[in-house]
Structures are given as structure tokens and as C-alpha cells.
Amino acid sequence: MRLKKRSLGPRLRTRGGLSVRKRWTQVVMELKRPHKCPTCGWPSLKRMSIGIWSCGNCGSRFAGGAYQPTTKTGLASQRVASSKTQQSAII
């Protein structure tokens, strides 16, 4: 019989209190969930080290956030860069 998978919260035991454990559990679950590769679209991204992500399917490596492959700041800068290239293409 298969064992029930436990949550990641008990790693901290009683240290930090309940709110800290809840936040830590959310961060770790976001880190461990499958992320889609921006190059091939396959959900096989793994974090190599802090901020460095690698795709198991196509082998691409890129820098991203510490716990997520993309950050809000990174998405905003991509929007600005793409709008500038579109504006230069129009002119």
C-alpha cells in the first residue's frame, strides 16, 4: 500500500510559528511544481541553483527568479522591450 504524501510544513516543526510555516510551504510548493519551458513549452524546468533554471527536455538554461522561473519585474521588462521593438519596426 502506498504511503500518504505529507506536506512540506513539518520540516520546520515548531520553529517560527504557524504563519511562517504556511508562507514557507507555499514558496516551496511553488518551487517544486512543474514549470513550462519558455523555449519548448514542455513542463520540465528544474532549478539548478538560486536563479538558474534548466529544461530537461531541450536543455536550455536561463536566469530567472529564486523560486519561480519568471518574476513580475522580468515580465514587465519583457513587455517594455517588446513594445520598443514593435515601435522601431513601425518607424
pLDDT in tens, 25-66: 899 989 999 999 999 999 999 999 999 999 999 999 999 999
Per-residue burial over 42-67, b if 16 or more Cβ lie within 10 Å, else e, is eeebebeeeeebbbeeeeeeeebbeb
Q: Work out how many domains the chain is built from and give that number.
A: 1
pLDDT band at 91 (very low <50, low <70, confident <90, very high): low
In single-letter form, the type of residue at position 75 comes to: L
Longest dimension (CA), the chain: 66
* Residue whose cell numbers read 516543526: 13
CA triple 12-25-23, angle to 5 deg: 95
Does the predicted TM-score (pTM) go above 0.85?
no
Q: Report the CATH number at residue 43.
A: 2.20.25.30
Q: Does residue 2 belong to any structural domain of this protein? A: no
Q: Does residue 1 belong to any structural domain of this protein? A: no
